[in-house]
Amino acid sequence: MYGVTMTIKIAIAGASGYAGGEILRLLLGHPAYASGELEIGALTAASSAGSTLGELMPHIPQLADRVIEDTTAETLTGHDVVFLGLPHGFSAEIANQLGPEVTVIDCAADFRLQHAEDWEKFYGSAHQGTWPYGIPEMPGHREQLTGSKRVAVPGCFPTGATLALLPAVSEGLIEPDVSIVSITGVSGAGKKASVPLLGSETMGSLKAYNTSGKHRHTPEIAQNLGEVSDVPVNVSFTPVLAPLPRGILTTATAPLKGGVTAETARAAYEKFYANETFVYLLPEGAQPQTQSVVGSNMCHVQVEVDEHSGKLLVTSAIDNLTKGTAGAAVQCMNLAVGFEETAGLPQVGVAP
Amino acid sequence: MYGVTMTIKIAIAGASGYAGGEILRLLLGHPAYASGELEIGALTAASSAGSTLGELMPHIPQLADRVIEDTTAETLTGHDVVFLGLPHGFSAEIANQLGPEVTVIDCAADFRLQHAEDWEKFYGSAHQGTWPYGIPEMPGHREQLTGSKRVAVPGCFPTGATLALLPAVSEGLIEPDVSIVSITGVSGAGKKASVPLLGSETMGSLKAYNTSGKHRHTPEIAQNLGEVSDVPVNVSFTPVLAPLPRGILTTATAPLKGGVTAETARAAYEKFYANETFVYLLPEGAQPQTQSVVGSNMCHVQVEVDEHSGKLLVTSAIDNLTKGTAGAAVQCMNLAVGFEETAGLPQVGVAP
Amino acid sequence: MYGVTMTIKIAIAGASGYAGGEILRLLLGHPAYASGELEIGALTAASSAGSTLGELMPHIPQLADRVIEDTTAETLTGHDVVFLGLPHGFSAEIANQLGPEVTVIDCAADFRLQHAEDWEKFYGSAHQGTWPYGIPEMPGHREQLTGSKRVAVPGCFPTGATLALLPAVSEGLIEPDVSIVSITGVSGAGKKASVPLLGSETMGSLKAYNTSGKHRHTPEIAQNLGEVSDVPVNVSFTPVLAPLPRGILTTATAPLKGGVTAETARAAYEKFYANETFVYLLPEGAQPQTQSVVGSNMCHVQVEVDEHSGKLLVTSAIDNLTKGTAGAAVQCMNLAVGFEETAGLPQVGVAP
Amino acid sequence: MYGVTMTIKIAIAGASGYAGGEILRLLLGHPAYASGELEIGALTAASSAGSTLGELMPHIPQLADRVIEDTTAETLTGHDVVFLGLPHGFSAEIANQLGPEVTVIDCAADFRLQHAEDWEKFYGSAHQGTWPYGIPEMPGHREQLTGSKRVAVPGCFPTGATLALLPAVSEGLIEPDVSIVSITGVSGAGKKASVPLLGSETMGSLKAYNTSGKHRHTPEIAQNLGEVSDVPVNVSFTPVLAPLPRGILTTATAPLKGGVTAETARAAYEKFYANETFVYLLPEGAQPQTQSVVGSNMCHVQVEVDEHSGKLLVTSAIDNLTKGTAGAAVQCMNLAVGFEETAGLPQVGVAP
């Protein structure tokens, strides 16, 4: 049915984290899992090795008895597809040990950036290379990802910001100087014990962090927008932590180019995303809300002209764990191994 | 594959409410929808008639252009299955106009109670009758629901409480005197404008309501437990509103019968639910959490003996909109029309 | 003790709303209430008239038996100070009937704007005039407010944005082109029944609204910044609704003027707010969080230079109901009637 | 003004925790602090020693420059009052080194229990003794606490449960067999890094924990109720973690004694709490909500007869950090050192 005839065996490294759990959720709902074309093999982690999945992920009762193995090249060997949900650095270390015949879908940052100097500046280590970058909606990327044995899954903020701004930059609606504020749910920070991420500290509070270009997703956003621009795009990026488990709302403003109107802006967005299943341009007057995309692989977008200030305003909503990470990973896997691109990826959010 | 050869056409009355929206979410993910065996026909509502679904339910972009019709017997005519997500009273009024050949799945209370005096006492109007009651996990109910043209979908609290207590009552683990506290997310109260349900009033707050047997789900719980008991079961029921969108955590205590131990209690639960896909008895020592069942049709259960107080403690977690309402409705539809019982019903929660 | 020798009798119009309730909370903790110098007289409302305060505001047990009266000039007569927590339009109508000897503290928008054309454009009715504007921290305002018989309490967003940007504009740190994103808790929308403000709709969701200069606080922000600027300040303003009861986090970016460094920017902020009790410039590296100011009259501020993008980033946190409304109202009352400016106003937030 | 003529110097051990922070918040708003009768001396902690308070508690800007010292008998010496907000065990160790002239207010459990066997069973170490127990509303306790040099501040759950049930047990309204479910905000678990307490894990979820009599507050509740009963009171206690920062809602049911009616039950509660400032019996028909008591020292209570089940239902709401810990500590300090019992303790909650 999808042009594959054998069973694809999948391993997930970092299965105890939020990205790993979400990849599992999506795979278990994938039609190829139901049909037996897709099989879930090794689940690995670091400190959780030896635990059962049931202890770590009670929301996945089907695999409760699975024992988590150590994350090593050995435990990952013998799989057709390996998802990596590991800290950067360690991710590249593991990836570099996997054979060229294995499809590696890396959710870490190691292979996202094209310029070694960006990597070194923001990550402080040696650049490991650049892989096909997993936003199929970016011009040319779907083609690169189709059949690829290596995929760099994008960061959650870059996904929300890129899908918001791509048509504006590509179609010349704005000056190349964007101010982005992205408000995120707390699962984006991962599943590691930390006082500032406690429920007590995050419920009932809002806080910006890694401001003033310190966030490592800043160069990734600039790189993506730069791909569709003749000139470098100046990016001011401010992430804000908000009291919800999942979701990123991105607001982006930039100076309008002369002659751009609400109509031309909207028309440019409609045309740009006309064939994209996972980008939904909301009707005029409606604003994206993160609730609408919880658990789905959708990005909801709205574009407006603010005549008062002479700015274009674009807003987008994604689930940071789905379209922002695990959904993108599965979407890329679909392209890489020959499944239908949209297979197993919910288009309806779990709202309210 | 499911023993049906024609397309089943479905209508949803009350499509603008939370139950209606959740039924739509599940149907759009149902394999029979993908295969064309299931078609979504009329979507109706009261005050929202004339709006598009996109205006009311931005999380369902696929059907954004569908126009909501008035809820009348006429608009619902011509469908094989009609889901009713209407206020009680109005639900019976509409149901009574639908032909006997139509499969009617009623999410309201009208046809749940067996005793007219219970209905009259708690609802203050004339009893309209009793339909097969939609908890397939109750003894004998799966059989009644299979092929049935009429289904009374249970209330959300009764589902959580019944699945928690059924083995305890049925297997004689407890004296027939249970104290139930059920803590619910706010979507259980529906999508109607009301000051006490505002975000400002519900976030950051906990509050019991309809206490002391005033909640209309009280007789429904007693009725369900009574079905597996030789004697009437005395039910104290206290619902509490908590600051989360979805989820019900039920805690139930009752005096232990002599000789019951942690081991015999656990064994009774294991045996009772051995073949039930949607009930997951957690490993010893783990407690159900509502997060684990968000968006899924699962009920997670734990049973413990409190030797300190001589009580059995049972806890359960469901999503009030899924297993608590729309998931149960689809599960019953599957039984009623001949699909596989579990089709289209997620077993993995959207966690975190 | 505060230079007053008689009891000041206070009325609150709109006592059933969130602003009214918060004014009551602050007055009951005011040292002049404890000493008998301040007395709480009429509490009025519209549809709630006839109810007791206990029914509407269970968090204020001391005044539970007080009966809410109708909001009319008559019920408000005979008080030394009248707080107005009413919808705009009605607020001016009532205000215009109160004698010149009464101190009127208006929490509505009617008398905030200086230019009739701004009022007419954003509110669509005839401008009623301009009163001393209640941000004592703005240059010259403390002097205007001292002893004033009329005070226009600022909007919640303008308070957060103005306190964030005032030194930047006044001290020439930025070009006059600011992009402001303000993320607010849901109590900012008031206590009126509405589906989009239900707990189910707001918990777990983020959503921008009244975007692209449509929010009525936009001209108020521009007016405030214009007061300390030689040239008009271009304001892009995007409000976002977030799932918390109280709090506004404001992020503001603007192009840096040449020669401005992190040090000069910080020094300018330190100097500007050196004597302000209610503005707290956080230590370098710390970001404001709304939790820290819940229930307090504080505004926490941070200023940073984003060298990556050439922008100044300023962030601020306030409680929209305290410094954003009722705290400002009481602070202005203190100035107006001769109490110590800080009396009765908490400086410590209710965290976590 | 309060019968003290010298300045009372206060130390807080464990100042970096939630209890310590809340004690500071209350002391800074205490009239004796404003008048100079109360002075804040050493602030100590364990791993945070050497940090400034500003780094740890940004909500307390007035003391931002204070440096946290090590928690030792030496750093605590020279103070008139020492609050201990330490882990049990360590708390007794420090307490035992403080002189008899020092007023020690212990927020840990070490000196709460009267029976060594209870201590050993639930805490697994040697019992250190019993101090006057800090619920002044319990018969005889106010007298014990007045002028006492040692105070054991009660646990948060026991406070909510005891104030709910005291009149019922004392006045013989119920059989001595109570089922208590207490739903708590996450700050009750303290400020320690832990995966299950992350925002991602706690927002959007409900979960029972330390069930079946395993929670250490169980014997404390039984002890308190036993003080006003001729016979031991059987206690089933189920704590539930809910997604809010502060607040405990307690629901308690017990079999009614013969002849008890709604009227006699209510009358008993009214009489029992007639002179208590911090217990508010809500009007008939109203249910306590935790929002109403956030940041206040109040306990809101409702009592109802459930004729359906033959049970008494009592519900109570407190803020676990205020009346549940720090407020009780300050209330007891007031009694111990001769301030007015209610001084510095808010009676109005920070709602919404």
User: Is the CB of C199 less than 8 angstroms away from the CB of B194?
Assistant: no
> What residues contact residue C282 under an 8 Å CB cut-off, 6+ apart?
C288, C300, C301, C302, D58
Q: Edge-to-edge strand order for the sheet containing D177-184?
A: D207-208, D234-241, D177-184, D248-255, D311-318, D299-306, D279-281
Q: Average pLDDT by consecutive 10-residue portion of chain B (352 residues)?
A: 71 97 98 96 95 97 97 97 97 97 98 97 96 98 98 98 98 98 97 96 97 93 98 98 98 97 98 98 97 98 96 98 98 98 98 96
Q: What are phi and psi of D181, to 5 degrees?
A: -120, 120
Handedness of CA C172, C176, C181, C183 (dihedral sign): positive
How far is it, in rounded angstroms, from Cα C199 to Cα C60? Answer: 23
* Pick among B221, B236, B312 to test the D interface (most D CBs inside 10 A): B236
How many whole angstroms from its chain centre is CA A82? 17
Chains that touch A (3 or more CB pairs under 8 A): B, C, D
How far is it, in rounded angstroms, from Cα A134 to Cα A163? Answer: 12
Q: Same CATH topology for B8-153+324-337 and B157-318?
A: no
b/e map D135-162, b = 16+ CB within 10 Å: bbbbeebbebbbebbbbbbbbbbbbbbb
The predicted structure's pLDDT at residue D4: 46
User: Is the CB of C28 less than 8 angstroms away from the CB of D347?
Assistant: yes
* Rg (alpha carbons) of chain D, rounded to whole number: 20
Q: Is D236 helix (H, G, I), strand (E, B) or coil?
A: strand
How do residues A198-234 score in pLDDT, each as one tens digit?
A: 999 999 999 999 998 889 999 999 999 999 999 999 9
How far does B261 lie from chain C, in Å, by closest CA?
A: 41
How far is it, in rounded angstroms, from Cα C130 to Cα C141? Answer: 13
Query: Taking CB atoms and an 8 Å cutoff, what residues of chain C touch B203?
Result: 186, 199, 202-203, 243-245
How far does C99 lie from chain A, in Å, by closest CA?
A: 38
The predicted structure's pLDDT at residue A121: 96
How far is it, in rounded angstroms, from Cα D297 to Cα D346? Answer: 6
Tokens representing A84 are 């990596």
How far does C177 lie from chain B, in Å, by closest CA?
A: 34
Would you say residue D168 has pLDDT above 90?
yes
> What residues contact residue B202 under an 8 Å CB cut-off, 6+ apart?
B186, B196, B241, B243, C199, C203
b/e map D326-335, b = 16+ CB within 10 Å: bbbbbbbbbb
User: Is the CB of D60 less than 8 angstroms away from the CB of C280?
Assistant: no
Tokens representing C94 are 């009532």
* Pick among C187, C236, C303, C320 to test the A interface (most A CBs inside 10 A): C236
Residues of A marked active site are found at 156
> What residues contact residue A126 under an 8 Å CB cut-off, 6+ apart?
A116, A119, A120
Q: Is D75 helix (H, G, I), strand (E, B) or coil?
A: helix
For residue C286, what is the nearest residue in chain A, using CA coordinates?
A209
User: Is the CB of D313 less than 8 angstroms away from the CB of B235?
Assistant: no
- Is residue B48 within 8 A of residue B192, CB to CB? The reply is no
Query: Taking CB atoms and an 8 Å cutoff, what residues of chain D touch A242?
Result: none
Residues of D with CB under 8 A from a CB of C: 18, 21, 24-25, 28-29, 31, 34, 54-55, 57-62, 64, 187, 191, 203-204, 245-246, 280, 282-283, 286, 288-289, 291-296, 298, 300, 346-352
Query: Taking CB atoms and an 8 Å cutoff, what residues of chain C touch D278?
Result: none
How do residues B173-195 score in pLDDT, each as one tens digit?
A: 999 999 999 999 999 999 999 99
User: Is the CB of A308 less than 8 angstroms away from the CB of C236?
Assistant: yes
Would you say residue C2 has pLDDT above 60?
no
- Is residue C75 within 8 A of residue C97, CB to CB? The reply is no
Query: Taking CB atoms and an 8 Å cutoff, what residues of chain A touch B29?
Result: 29, 346, 348
Instruction: Give all strands (DSSP E) within chain D, no chain letters.
Output: 8-13, 38-45, 69-70, 81-84, 103-106, 150-152, 177-184, 207-208, 234-241, 248-255, 279-281, 299-306, 311-318
Which amino acid, one-letter code, is at A165?
L
Would you say residue A351 has pLDDT above 60?
yes
Q: Is A313 helix (H, G, I), strand (E, B) or coil?
A: strand
Q: Is B198 helix (H, G, I), strand (E, B) or coil?
A: strand
How do residues A58-107 score in pLDDT, each as one tens digit?
A: 999 999 999 999 999 999 999 999 999 999 999 999 999 999 999 999 99
Query: Taking CB atoms and an 8 Å cutoff, what residues of chain D touch B237?
Result: 309
Q: Where are the domains of chain B?
A: 8-153+324-337, 157-318
* Pick among A200, A246, A319 to test the D interface (most D CBs inside 10 A): A200
User: Is the CB of D199 less than 8 angstroms away from the CB of A191?
Assistant: no
Helices (H), chain B: 18-28, 31-34, 53-56, 73-76, 90-95, 116-123, 141-145, 156-170, 199-202, 218-227, 262-272, 327-337
What topology is assigned to D8-153+324-337 in CATH? Rossmann fold (3.40.50)
Chains that touch C (3 or more CB pairs under 8 A): A, B, D
* Closest to A252 measured CA to CA, from A310, A334, A316, A342: A316
- Give me the mean pLDDT over the D202-221 stretch: 95
Q: What is the DSSP letter of C154?
A: P
* Pick among A52, A318, A321, A348 to test the B interface (most B CBs inside 10 A): A348
How far is it, in rounded angstroms, from Cα C117 to Cα C102? Answer: 29
Query: Taking CB atoms and an 8 Å cutoff, what residues of chain D touch A204?
Result: 244-245
Helices (H), A35-127: 53-56, 73-76, 90-95, 116-123
Query: Taking CB atoms and an 8 Å cutoff, what residues of chain B touch A280?
Result: 61
Instruction: Give all strands (DSSP E) within A92-241, no chain letters.
Output: 103-106, 150-152, 177-184, 207-208, 234-241
> What residues contact residue D72 under an 8 Å CB cut-off, 6+ apart?
D44, D94
Handedness of CA A26, A32, A35, A40 (dihedral sign): negative
The predicted structure's pLDDT at residue D2: 47
Residue pointed to by tokens 């935790």: D290
Tokens representing C192 are 């009126």
- Is B332 known to be catalytic? no
For residue A188, what is the nearest residue in chain D, using CA coordinates?
D200
Would you say residue C225 has pLDDT above 80?
yes
For residue C277, what is the nearest residue in chain D, using CA coordinates?
D62
* Burial class of residue D78, CB neighbours in 10 A (0-12, 13-18, 19+): exposed
The most distant pair of C-alpha atoms in chain D lies apart, rounded to whole Å, by: 62
How far does B329 lie from chain D, in Å, by closest CA?
A: 24
The predicted structure's pLDDT at residue D5: 59
How far does A52 lie from chain B, in Å, by closest CA?
A: 11
Query: Taking CB atoms and an 8 Å cutoff, what residues of chain D touch A200?
Result: 18, 185-187, 189, 191, 197, 245
Q: Is C269 helix (H, G, I), strand (E, B) or coil?
A: helix
The answer to pTM > 0.95 is: yes
Residue-level length of chain C = 352
Q: Which helix or strand (DSSP H or E) is residue C226 part of?
A: helix C218-227
Residues of D with CB under 8 A from a CB of A: 18, 185-187, 189, 191-195, 197-204, 243-245
User: Is the CB of C59 less than 8 angstroms away from the CB of D291?
Assistant: yes
Handedness of CA A259, A263, A264, A269 (dihedral sign): positive
Of A21, A31, A58, Cβ closest to residue B289: A58
Cα end-to-end span (Å), chain B: 34
User: Is the CB of B54 less than 8 angstroms away from the CB of A350?
Assistant: no
How far is it, in rounded angstroms, from Cα C76 to Cα A144? Answer: 72
* Burial class of residue A286, CB neighbours in 10 A (0-12, 13-18, 19+): middle
How many whole angstroms from its chain centre is CA C192? 19
- Look up the CATH architecture of domain C157-318: 2-Layer Sandwich (3.30)
- Percent of the residues in chain A that have a pLDDT greater than 70, as a whole number: 99
Instruction: Give all strands (DSSP E) within A73-188, no chain letters.
Output: 81-84, 103-106, 150-152, 177-184
- Percent of the residues in chain D that have a pLDDT greater than 90, as a whole number: 97
Handedness of CA B2, B3, B6, B11 (dihedral sign): negative
Would you say residue C194 has pLDDT above 80?
yes
Chain mean pLDDT for chain D: 96
* Burial class of residue A233, CB neighbours in 10 A (0-12, 13-18, 19+): buried
Would you say residue D179 has pLDDT above 70?
yes
Residues of B with CB under 8 A from a CB of A: 18, 21, 24-25, 28-29, 31, 34, 54-55, 57-62, 64, 187, 191, 203-204, 245-246, 280, 282-283, 286, 288-289, 291-296, 298, 300, 346-352
How far is it, in rounded angstroms, from Cα D305 to Cα D312? Answer: 5
Structure confidence at residue D213 as a pLDDT band (50, 70, 90): confident
Of D204, D245, D295, Cβ closest to residue C295: D295
Chains that touch B (3 or more CB pairs under 8 A): A, C, D
Of B200, B204, B208, Cβ closest to residue D251: B208
Query: Taking CB atoms and an 8 Å cutoff, what residues of chain A touch C179?
Result: 179, 253, 309, 311
| Residue C236 β-bridge partners | C179
How far does A233 lie from chain C, in Å, by closest CA?
A: 10
What are the counts of helices (DSSP H) followed by strands (DSSP E) for chain D? 12, 13
Tokens representing A127 are 């650049």
Provide the 10 A C-beta neighbour count for residue B248.
30
For residue C189, what is the nearest residue in chain B, using CA coordinates?
B200
